Structure 1
Amino acid sequence: MKSKILFSIIFIVLACWSMIFMNEKPVIKYFPTDDAASFLSHSTNLYLSDKMMKDDYKLKWEVNSNLNKQAYLRQDVSLLFVDGNLKGITGSWKENEKKIALDVELQQAGTSVFQAISLHHAETHYPKDQIRSIQKMSTDKLYVVDSPHVKILDFKDSKTKKEKEWEETINNTVHQQLQFEWRKWLTEKEINLDEYLLVPLTDLYVFEKKALPGLSQEETSIIISQLWEGLYKSFIIPFSEKKISNEIKVPIILFDKENNHLIVLFENEKKKVEHLYQVYSTNN
């Protein structure tokens, strides 16, 4: 009898601890922009390390950011895609910090294009319960050509004729595969593409300096910041807690041409298409 009671107590304690742990897990949340905060630097970098194996190579994936002052919460998250498929997610959060540095090394093989997009986020607190936030994006792309009997070739911006040919070949192959999948998603969700501007998640960074059609840069920044909040909850956290084994394609964001809402289409771990619907709210 005593053992049963003890077991019940232990179970309740563990259950409560689990609930507290999950509830305390930081999320990326949008607050009005903090004009007093700014990123001194923020970057994403993909490159090959010096550690070459016989039949494969080592990919380095680095994410760094530095705020101009300490923030109540600093958080960076980065997504890596290989040939349009999700390869991994890395991230870190810190309290009362300025800097975050992430360094991941992956063993890879074959000819591929690697694309990473990162969000650098800070949440700042002020007296009278005033909460502000600031966000920046960074990105990087790396082409790696790994073919038999040829020295491995890697580049970011094609310069030579050989590099340009490889870039075109790789881009065409990946683009065709993604377009095929995205068309299936649109058909399944009965979405008329003519009503939307389609932007792959890997291209979202362009809106750092480019406004959505019909909107100001400030309005665009607010919408993108709110979008990342939804992406973090619906896409990033679920895949961060599971092993990425299936070929999960790059999510697409559909911006309504009437500037009313956006839709994110993406696959879950079971390869089922899900959608995130977000109505625009541009009051800062």
Structure 2
Amino acid sequence: MRGKQSLIIIAGAAGILITWWVFMLFNPAARESIIFFPLNEKASYQSADTLLTLNEKKVNDLYEVNWKITSVLDQDAYLRQDIGFLFFNGRLTSKMSEWEQNTDRIVEEDTAAGKESSLLQAVSFHYSEIHGDEENYTSAQSMSEDQLYVIDSNFSPLSSFRKPDSAAEKEWKMILDKVANQQLQYNWENAMKKYNISGKDYLQIPLIRLPEYNSDPPRGFTTLQWNELVGNLWEGLYKNYFLGIKTDTGKVVDPIDSLMPLILIRIDTGDLLVLLTTKEGEYVLLQQKIPVPLP
């Protein structure tokens, strides 16, 4: 029998803590699910990518952006699954998930539409569940991201860029960064006030920035400690964000149009928090305990 227990604490807008245990038994059939198992030291990703590309022509007065997630493991895995989130100006516009059994690779693609100049940010988690035998399950993981500035203006042709090359693009970058960041920062600060969280005590990481730590963990973490934290974090994000946000009333709401999650890590106490803001502006707090890194 395979079993795994994980404790996830969720606090709704009323500040009430709800605690439950998730217990998953062995199921011989492959199923769509991200479960963190000990990391496999012999498995690695040959490639793991997220790519946003603007289509040249509009459709029904909307521009279209192609969103592609690909990854290749260096061996076949019992279960391969990639999930991704796409944000327009800090709001979740689309999400994507694909899984395959007994393969080394995943390719998934979608199209998102927009009407105004926007900062598009996509982040993906690449996951593999590897079976040595019925009693030996391990996992492999990676993350990737991409961002694209799309300029949809009456005064210039439809265009996009990742890094600004001209004065005009630098101006657009400043404007779009400000639009997205002000809204996010305002909501994150209000959420922290709601839950009496002192932001200065935590390492604050917007979800889109997590892949920046793929090869360089935050200060205080070893690579192994950080990767274990990331694996458990994405398991929680999949169950409590990708599949729906559970509010304090017990209602599960679609995450589409919610704001980008903010991850808060306090190394000295082993607290891992995730701040969510639903489409309706309701705050939700996810909390996990993590092993405190050794000095």
Relative to the length of structure 2, the TM-score reads 0.82
Counting only pairs closer than 5 Å after superposition, residues 257-276 of structure 1 correspond to structure 2 as 257-258=267-268, 260-268=270-278, 270-276=280-286
Counting only pairs closer than 5 Å after superposition, residues 16-95 of structure 1 correspond to structure 2 as 25-53=31-59, 55-95=61-101
Higher strand share: 2
User: Contact 1:219–1:282 at 8 Å: present in 2 too?
Assistant: no
1:151: how far off? 0.8
User: Contact 2:88–2:118 at 8 Å: present in 1 too?
Assistant: yes
- Structure 1, residues 10-60: CA drift from partner, whole Å, max 9, x if none? xxxxxxxxxxxxx97522111111122111111000011244236321110
1:149: how far off? 3.3
In the alignment, the residues of structure 2 paired with residue 58 and residue 33 of structure 1 have an alpha-carbon distance, to the nearest angstrom, of 38
User: Contact 2:88–2:119 at 8 Å: present in 1 too?
Assistant: yes
The structure with higher relative contact order (CA 8 Å, sep 6+) is: 2
**Runs of 5+ unmatched residues, structure 1:** 1-22
In the alignment, the residues of structure 2 paired with residue 229 and residue 26 of structure 1 have an alpha-carbon distance, to the nearest angstrom, of 12
User: Contact 2:259–2:279 at 8 Å: present in 1 too?
Assistant: no
Count of paired positions: 260
Structure with max Cα Rg: 1
Cα 1:54–1:95 shift into 2, 3 Å: closer
* SS, match of residue 149 in structure 1: coil
Runs of 4+ residues over 3 Å off in structure 1: 241-245, 268-271
User: Contact 1:195–1:257 at 8 Å: present in 2 too?
Assistant: no
Higher helix share: 1
Percent of aligned positions that are identical: 30
Decide which of 146, 151, 167 is 1:145's aligned counterpart: 151
In the alignment, the residues of structure 2 paired with residue 234 and residue 128 of structure 1 have an alpha-carbon distance, to the nearest angstrom, of 28
AA at the equivalent of 2:222: S
AA at the equivalent of 1:224: V
User: Contact 2:120–2:147 at 8 Å: present in 1 too?
Assistant: yes
Counting only pairs closer than 5 Å after superposition, residues 127-166 of structure 1 correspond to structure 2 as 127=133, 129-166=135-172
C-alpha RMSD of the superposition = 2.2
Decide which of 247, 262, 265 is 1:255's aligned counterpart: 265
Decide which of 218, 228, 231 is 2:234's aligned counterpart: 228
Q: Which moved more, 1:210-219 or 1:135-144?
A: 210-219
Cα 1:176–1:128 shift into 2, 3 Å: closer
1:143: how far off? 0.1
